[in-house]
Structure 1
């Protein structure tokens, strides 16, 4: 039986795109194996999705000790791949993928890369020249690639959970009990929330509550819920939770989204054609991810220090139907379709 090895790990941004593709591969009756590190979240997430998983002892390359562990892990990866005999390998970036990619080169196993962010990570930079194909989320990533290698690159968007496809805005609004004349503002700061965004929302709380047409859905983050809500006396129609389990539905129903600029969040906004106000973190390439939408006139970017202005801007845009439509149409031009399906096809699976 044909077999595909997935190497990924470290963060949800690396793991969930891999799982989206692996589920498509599994439906075709093809065997799969995940290889990651035994120290990070993939060791729990991947087996919970009923995929085989092997965790190597890999650490970030920051010391002599981690260098030796990388060498040992690479030897282990070579031994493992000799035993498993995969037809193809696909890697999703970061240091965790290095041992398997070195092993793929040693054993001459064809490999593919997937890059979630606008700016390519170091591991993918090291290995893309030997890849069969490199699947990138954003067209702008090609700007940093030498002309002779561009033929390897395929712009696919990021693989997302199936729940983000096929959503209808009006249907989701009906399910959530949102009135036709209400304007929905969705605020999400990531799994841990965003303190700066939360504080800005609180300072603008009276303004938000005064406009009865605005319906706020606000995820404070698990660790920030009590601190963000204990001063609020009147919640009005606002829905405030530590986090939302139904983000695809809420995002589909929303008119504008206030959020960070992680790679998958940007791709979710594109898939659902959502105008947004983005407050990127100052690290991990979020500003460059946000630029993708701002350059297309589909988003406005603010900093942590100007978070209050970001809320004001979102409240202004959400009252302007023509501006919402303009931004949404611009975001729509960035859509690529179901990325996982495109990648599986491009890999010849």
Structure 2
């Protein structure tokens, strides 16, 4: 049986694309084996999905102790690759993928990379020259890399969870009892939440109460929910305020407008569902959300605001959601960015399909 090692972890943004590819590999009779950390969310999340998982004690390279952990993890990864004998290794970025990718290079395995963001992250920058192919989410990434390596790049879009493609807007609106003349505004700062976005909504809450035909789905983030709940003394019966929506694809499907951060998978889901958005990127340069957001803005498919402009962003959202003509124009512009069946394209492009 063919095997592919998928090395990923740390955040859902790295793990969900890997799981999407794993499902596609399994469908084609290939065994996916995951290598990640022994102490972050992948150690629970991946076995729950029914896949073999091997954990390494690897941490970001910040001090001498973490460097020793990385070296020990590389040695352990070499043993894993020798034992499993994979047909290829596919890395999904960040420091967690370094040991398995390096082990694959040392043992002369076929190396593939997947980049979720507009700009290459640290690990993928380190290894793209040595990979057989790097799968990109966005065309823009070509601009950052020397032309001589472009033949090793393929734009597939981000592999997304199957629910994103399967969910039906009309069915979900009926299930949630959303009226035909009712608009839905989704506001989310991600699973941990965003204080600047949450504070902005609180400051404009009186206006949201006055908009009887706008239903708000607000994901506060688990760290902020209790405080916000205590500060809200009234809200419309149809508004839904939770720490996080486990059925986020369904909520996004029924939404007319989304106010959110600009993580790579969020951008890809907005594109896949053709959702108008107002983006407030997380401002750390390392995370790269501003560059992700620019992809939508430059196509006329979104509006970008800084953290310090979050209140203006909420005001803009309350106006834009009532402008049916502008929303229709935005949805039309998004279509040019769509890249469907990313997981399928990645698996097909991997050179593992010859005779065993």
User: What's the TM-score once normalised by structure 2's chain length?
Assistant: 0.95
Q: Tell me the SS of whatever aligns to 2:215.
A: strand
Which one of the candidate residues 323, 330, 349 is aligned to 1:346? 349
Q: Find the counterpart in structure 2 of residue 235 from structure 1.
A: 235
CA contact (8 A) 1:167 1:272 kept: no
Deviation at 1:312, TM superposition (A): 0.8
Per the alignment, residue 198 of structure 1 pairs with: 198
Q: Distance in 2 between matches of 1:294 and 1:232?
A: 33
Secondary structure of the 1:113 match is strand
Partner of residue 246, structure 1: 247
In the other structure, the counterpart of 2:260 is: 259
Question: Which of 311, 319, 323 is the equivalent residue of 1:320?
Answer: 323
Q: CA deviation at 1:166?
A: 3.2
Pair 1:287 & 2:287 matched = no
The equivalent residue for 1:336 is 339
> How does 1:183-222 map onto structure 2 within 5 Å?
183-222=183-222
- Residue 272 of structure 2 is matched in structure 1 by 271
CA distance in 2, matches of 1:159, 1:205: 36
* 2:127 matched residue in structure 1: 127
3-state SS, counterpart of residue 58 of structure 1: coil
Cα deviation digits, residues 23-67 of structure 1 (max 9, x gap): 111122212211112122211111111111111221211222222
Quick check: 1:82 aligned with 2:82?
yes
* Aligned residue pair count: 349
Contact 1:24 1:344 in 2 (8 A): yes
Q: State the shift of 1:342 in Å.
A: 1.4
Q: SS in structure 2 opposite 1:190? A: coil
User: How far did residue 346 of structure 1 move?
Assistant: 1.4
Please tell me whether residue 58 in structure 1 is matched to residue 61 in structure 2: no
| Offset, 1:288 | 0.9
Quick one: distance in 2 between partners of 1:199 and 1:75? 47
Q: Deviations over 1:87-138 (max 9, x none)?
A: 1110011111111111111111001000011111111011001111111111
1:12 matched to which residue of 2?
Answer: 12
SS in 1 for 2:337: coil
Shift of 1:260: 0.7
Give the corresponding residue for 1:110: 110
- What is the CA–CA distance in structure 2 between the aligned matches of 1:14 and 1:288, rounded to whole Å? 17
Query: Shift in Å at residue 4 of structure 1?
Result: 0.6
User: Which secondary structure state, in structure 2, belongs to the residue aligned with residue 297 of structure 1?
Assistant: coil
Question: After the TM superposition, which segments of 4 or more aligned residues of structure 1 sit over 4 Å from their partners?
Answer: none
Cα distance in 2 for partners of 1:221, 1:190 equals 6
Check whether the contact 1:165–1:338 (CA below 8 A) recurs between aligned residues: no
Question: Secondary structure of 2:123's partner?
Answer: helix
Counterpart residue number, 2:40: 40
Shift of 1:277: 0.5
Aligned to 1:144: 144
Moved more, 339-348 or 150-159: 339-348
Which whole-Å deviations, capped at 9, do the CAs of 1:308-334 have from their partners, x for residues lacking one?
A: 100011111111101001111111211
In the aligned structure 2, how far is the partner of 1:231 from the partner of 1:47?
39
Q: CA deviation digits over 1:59-86, x for unaligned, max 9?
A: 2112222222222221221122111111
Three-state SS of the structure 2 residue aligned to 1:324 is: helix
